[in-house]
Amino acid sequence: MTSKLLSILATSFLILFYISAIISISTSAETSPNTTTTPKNLCKTTPDPSYCKSVLPTHTHGNVYDYGRFSVRKSLSQARKFLSLIEKYLRRRSTLSVAAVRALEDCRSLAILNMEFLSSSFQTVNKTSRVLSTLKAEDIQTFLSAILTNQQTCLDGIQGTASSWNVKNGISIPLANDTKLYSVSLALVTRGWVPKKKKVTTWTPKGEQLKGFRKGHMKMKMSSQNRVVYETVSRRNLADQEVADAEVLVRDIVTVSQDGSGNFTTINDAINATPNKTDSSEGYSLIYVTAGVYEEYVVVAKNKWNLMIIGDGINQTVITGNRSVVDGWTTFNSATFVVGAPGFVAVNITFRNTAGAIKHQAVAVRNSADLSTFYSCSFEGYQDTLYTHSLRQFYRDCDIYGTVDFIFGNAAVVFQNCHIYPRLAMANQFNAITAQGRTDPNQNTGFSIHNCTIMAADDLAAARNMSMMNNNSTISVTKTYLGRPWKEYSRTVYMQSYFDSSIETVGWREWNGDFALSTLYYGEFNNTGPGSDTANRVTWPGYHVIGNSSDVANFTVFNFLLGDDWLPQTGVPFNSGLL
């Protein structure tokens, strides 16, 4: 090879190198949050680019932080206007149907929450133009995700008021437009302030982190007076219990007993008497509810922070009601037990809705409480038993009974070591264990079902056995599916769980035709039992048989809930990673 040819090749190599470097720098600049850009370019990364361009200012150039702050501020302004609109309709409540008033009241409480979440989010994004810490980023993404969930909940309720078409028309359009704006805010905040989560390439199980409530006991840090009260009412000597890895800090304790021997005779009275907005560093306000059937509609208001309610055990302390959609309630306010306060913990309680399958949607528990925990509890109903509505939630060693969509909502939630019992439904009905309601690809929500047991309840098991023994296809046996997509970006993962033979071989069921089949994310990982065979599962684009632990690690307590940061203080045992 001649020296001239070598010189030409060297020159060509340098030219290619510099072109490559320029392209790399240009690409980096376009994707950097601090790069000045136009709304047109920035909006390409949002779910609805054309709407995004219509709301961002076009006469200026800025970066994702500038536009993100603008969008969140505008969202807060719109939330205030929407609340005023709801109040306007409610001032005319005498002209409206009961169903319409109840739906509007739901929308009002949700709109107030949205204003609070947006105000908090704006304060966060207004302080910095850089990626937040993981914990702060998780908070803001959770709040903005919940805002979209609240919007959808309001819309679902309003659309159910068929007799009040004027309300439906007057509310639905501004509601839909505001939802689009909130989606823009979530997208921009996610791009600018939320760190890209690292892919976990290997995973070492951390095992069960805490033993604080092992065998129904706990190690509690409390005053000597409260300790005496607790040991008296619960008949447990704390000093004799096993040593736990962490203590549960308790600031005060009261007792609910129907026979008048405690501080209160109703749960609601006990809750209302607890202090408002206590910091977690002050410890839990603990309510001990003695055995009995409490026919109350219990509400843990959003200002009752860090409240712990402990019963005498499943089927011993029972909270029951029978509201339903058929009887004129919205799904949202049909719940027997409602919790909206952060840091809530419930232990050893049964929650029931006894409306029955014939009354359709009838919720036992509606949970809209951030960083909330249910341990050793039972949820009993038929359609829509457990409404995991929004924010971050954890369920451990719980029993959940139901038929149609009986675990539903749009929280970021992990169910761990739970028993899930599909029941015998009405004729022509089927069981869908989950109906997850994620509406936006940037929401950090979904269902993670880890090391749980899915097994037919006694009534369904008996019907199945009768059908098989008699070889009689005319006997009505409810078909059971792992879930169906309630909303467009529905996300549910089953991992390391046991499925009995009641699960249909296809596994999952459509909601309506091909709706959401390419945008949902449904996954199964290392499940066992006769119903776990994935050979004949659905072939939807969004369905995945997850093959390795690094992919599924995103749905563990450690990653999905950042649970290592907040679960230890509850005293509830949990597995941080995979088994």
Supply 341's token pair.
């306060």
φ, ψ of residue 37 to 5 degrees: the values are -150, -175
Alpha-carbon span 425 to 381, nearest angstrom: 11
DSSP, collapsed to helix, strand or coil, labels residue 355 as coil
Residue position matching structure tokens 């009986």: 406
* Alpha-carbon distance values, 465 to 195, 241, 469, 473, 506 (Å): 52, 43, 6, 12, 21
pTM score of the predicted model: 0.89
Q: CB-based contacts of 53: which residues, under 8 Å, 6+ apart?
A: 39, 40, 43
Q: CB-based contacts of 468: which residues, under 8 Å, 6+ apart?
A: none
Q: What integer pLDDT is reported at residue 208 of this predicted model?
A: 47
Q: Is the backbone of residue 578 left (phi > 0), alpha (psi -120 to 50) or beta?
A: beta
Look at 103-107, 165-169, 186-190, 290-294 and tell me which has the smallest mean pLDDT.
Answer: 165-169
Q: What is the dihedral of CA 408, 414, 417, 419, to 10 degrees?
A: 0
φ, ψ of residue 530 to 5 degrees: the values are -65, -20
Q: To the nearest whole percent, how much of the chain has pLDDT over 70? A: 84
The CATH number given to whatever domain includes residue 64 is: 1.20.140.40
Q: What integer pLDDT is reported at residue 244 of this predicted model?
A: 42
Alpha-carbon span 84 to 112, nearest angstrom: 10
Mean pLDDT value of segment 483-496: 98
φ, ψ of residue 395 to 5 degrees: the values are -125, 130
Residue 199: DSSP 8-state: P
Is 254 within 8 Å of 265 (Cβ atoms)?
Answer: no
Mean pLDDT value of segment 360-368: 98
Alpha-carbon span 208 to 385, nearest angstrom: 28
Closest residue by Cα to residue 293 from 333, 350, 348: 350
Q: Which domain holds residue 488?
A: 403-578
* Alpha-carbon distance values, 481 to 10, 234, 403, 409, 484 (Å): 64, 40, 10, 17, 8
DSSP, collapsed to helix, strand or coil, labels residue 441 as coil
Q: pLDDT (tens digit, 9 = 90+) per residue, 308-330?
A: 999 999 999 999 999 999 999 99
- pLDDT interval class at 390 (50, 70, 90): very high
Alpha-carbon span 251 to 272, nearest angstrom: 16
Q: What integer pLDDT is reported at residue 143 of this predicted model?
A: 98
Q: What integer pLDDT is reported at residue 13 of this predicted model?
A: 42
Is 423 within 8 Å of 457 (Cβ atoms)?
Answer: yes
Mean pLDDT value of segment 2-16: 45
> Does residue 184 have a pLDDT over 90?
yes
> Does residue 506 have a pLDDT over 90?
yes
Closest residue by Cα to residue 267 from 335, 313, 336: 336
Closest residue by Cα to residue 460 from 468, 449, 451: 468
Half-sphere exposure of 457 (CA within 13 A, CB side): 21
Q: Does residue 355 fall inside a structural domain? A: no
Is 502 within 8 Å of 455 (Cβ atoms)?
Answer: yes
Is 308 within 8 Å of 280 (Cβ atoms)?
Answer: no
Q: pLDDT (tens digit, 9 = 90+) per residue, 276-295?
A: 999 998 999 999 999 999 99
Alpha-carbon span 405 to 431, nearest angstrom: 7
DSSP 493-524: EEES-EE-TTB-TT----SSTTTTTTT-EEEE
Residues marked as catalytic? 405
Q: Does residue 127 fall inside a structural domain? A: yes
Q: Which of 193, 211, 232 is the last residue of a domain?
A: 193
Is 155 within 8 Å of 176 (Cβ atoms)?
Answer: yes
Q: pLDDT (tens digit, 9 = 90+) per residue, 428-453?
A: 899 999 999 999 999 999 999 999 99
Helix 134-159 to helix 98-125 angle, to the nearest 10 degrees? 160
Q: Taking CA 564 as the corner, what is the angle to CA 563 and CA 568, rounded to the nearest 5 degrees?
A: 95
Q: pLDDT (tens digit, 9 = 90+) per residue, 204-245?
A: 444 444 333 433 344 555 455 555 555 554 444 444 444 344
Mean pLDDT value of segment 24-28: 35
Q: To the nearest whole percent, how much of the chain has pLDDT over 90? A: 74
Q: pLDDT (tens digit, 9 = 90+) per residue, 70-79?
A: 999 999 999 9
Q: pLDDT (tens digit, 9 = 90+) per residue, 116-170?
A: 999 999 999 999 999 999 999 999 999 999 999 999 999 999 987 755 667 788 8
Q: How many domains does the chain have?
A: 2
Q: What integer pLDDT is reported at residue 31 of this predicted model?
A: 56
Alpha-carbon span 524 to 538, nearest angstrom: 12
Mean pLDDT value of segment 519-540: 98
Q: Does residue 362 fall inside a structural domain? A: no
Taken as a whole, the chain contains a residue count of 579
Q: Which of 171, 193, 215 is the last residue of a domain?
A: 193
φ, ψ of residue 317 to 5 degrees: the values are -100, 115
Q: How many other C-beta atoms can be found within 10 angstroms of the C-beta atom of residue 58?
A: 10
Sheet of 491-495, strands arranged across: 220-221, 248-256, 284-289, 307-310, 345-347, 372-375, 392-396, 412-416, 446-450, 491-495, 521-525, 543-545
Is 522 within 8 Å of 545 (Cβ atoms)?
Answer: no
Q: Does residue 444 fall inside a structural domain? A: yes
Q: Which of 228-232, 395-399, 472-476, 546-550 has the highest mean pLDDT?
A: 395-399
Q: Does residue 299 fall inside a structural domain? A: no
Residue 37: strand pairing partners: 62
Alpha-carbon span 346 to 377, nearest angstrom: 7
Calculate the average pLDDT of the chain: 87
Is 415 within 8 Å of 449 (Cβ atoms)?
Answer: yes
Q: Which of 193, 209, 239 is the last residue of a domain?
A: 193
Q: What integer pLDDT is reported at residue 501 of this predicted model?
A: 96
Mean pLDDT value of segment 487-505: 98
Q: Does residue 386 fall inside a structural domain? A: no
Q: Does residue 369 fall inside a structural domain? A: no
Q: Does residue 228 fall inside a structural domain? A: no
